[in-house]
């Protein structure tokens, strides 16, 4: 059960954090009187720039959720197709060989879902099994890898494609001046990533999934998520997120590894979702990791921001490209998200 390849795609519109802050200052100039607070929030997330689904001047023209969601459907197909094609090409596979297509997102909705809209564009076989998943948020990239691993356990000669598309900029509420929304305006970006998973009867050069674990935390539904109304997606982002990481993650990781006859000292590579600077600090402290263990995660946050479920897949891709561990060594891929919950994936490189 190996990961054969990861492909990525971004909208063409990339802006530095300074340019984005300038635009937010302009849009909110008559309503946000403490502009220094906005600048501080944007600088504190340590993001250098982000891709946006649309050119920056088009966002002020969006009048309702329907228009924002129409843009999500259009752009999600474009970047989703690019990401899947890249991943399949790297894996040496053709679209006609795909047996199962998993799609995850939390930034828009569509029926038929984006995976269905891509079947003809990609040339996927009519027999392909589709699994669209909405609502897992930041944890969905890791959870998608876990569910793909479950699938190829049963179908050992089949090919699974996991596609994550998150266009977070299309969820931003320009009427909302709450602290969570202001933080979101500086933290989240847009993009897509696709992972090709193959069963044990097929050859691949990527890491093997040894085991996975999902953990749900009771009474944490208001830690992170959306309030959805006629205006669209209203962010729920509690200041408790770093504390939840500190409270639960070490115990969860240790118990998971112990069940595999392992401990944290056996893990040489960490692929983590870049939730934000405070979350990463809490994660590093909870797991007692050296700073370099999360280097690629922090780089991803700086270069493109937090892309919700897509981010951990981008960190996985960079690990495979630039910091691939020694063959046979062990790694951990993990993310946390709405629920509140975590997903742990044990890898053998």
User: Mind telling me the catalytic residues?
Assistant: 138
CA Rg value for the chain = 19
Round to whole Å and give the CA distance between 46 and 145. 28
End-to-end CA distance of the chain: 12
> Percentages helix, strand, coil for the chain, rounded to the nearest 5?
45, 25, 30
CB 15 within 8 A of CB 49: yes
DSSP output for 237-297: E-TTHHHHHHHHHHHHHHHHHHHTT--GGGEEEEEE----HHHHHHHHHHHT--GGGGHHH
Round to whole Å and give the CA distance between 306 and 304. 7
Phi and psi, residue 23, nearest 5°: -70, -40
């Amino acid at each position: 059960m190996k990961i054969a390849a990861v492909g990525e795609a971004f909208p063409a519109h990339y802006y530095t954090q300074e340019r984005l802050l300038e635009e937010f200052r302009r849009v909110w100039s008559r309503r946000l009187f403490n502009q220094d607070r906005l600048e501080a929030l944007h600088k504190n997330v340590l993001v250098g720039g982000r891709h946006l689904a649309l050119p920056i001047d088009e966002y002020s023209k969006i009048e309702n959720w329907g228009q924002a969601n129409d843009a999500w459907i259009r752009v999600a197909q474009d970047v989703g197709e690019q990401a899947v094609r890249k991943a399949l090409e790297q894996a040496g596979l053709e679209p006609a060989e795909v047996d199962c297509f998993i799609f995850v997102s939390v930034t828009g909705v569509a029926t038929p879902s984006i995976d269905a809209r891509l079947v003809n564009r990609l040339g996927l076989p009519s027999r392909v099994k589709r699994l669209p998943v909405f609502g897992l948020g930041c944890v969905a990239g890791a959870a998608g890898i876990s569910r793909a691993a479950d699938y190829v356990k049963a179908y050992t000669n089949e090919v699974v494609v996991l596609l994550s598309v998150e266009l977070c900029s299309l969820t931003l509420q320009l009427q909302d001046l709450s602290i969570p929304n202001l933080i979101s305006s500086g933290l989240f970006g847009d993009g897509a990533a696709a992972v090709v998973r193959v069963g044990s009867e097929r050859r691949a050069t990527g890491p093997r999934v040894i085991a996975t674990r999902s953990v749900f935390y009771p009474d944490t539904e208001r830690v992170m998520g959306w309030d959805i109304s006629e205006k669209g997606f209203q962010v729920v982002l509690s200041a408790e997120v770093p504390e939840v990481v500190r409270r639960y993650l070490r115990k969860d990781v240790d118990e998971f590894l112990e069940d595999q006859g392992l401990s944290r000292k056996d893990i040489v590579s960490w692929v983590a979702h870049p939730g934000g600077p405070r979350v990463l600090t809490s994660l590093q402290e909870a797991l007692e990791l050296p700073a370099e263990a999360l280097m690629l995660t922090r780089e991803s946050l700086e270069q493109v921001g937090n892309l919700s479920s897509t981010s951990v897949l981008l960190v996985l891709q960079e690990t495979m490209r630039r910091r691939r561990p020694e063959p046979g060594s062990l790694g951990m891929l993990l993310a946390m998200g709405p629920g509140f919950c975590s997903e742990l994936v044990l890898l053998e490189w």
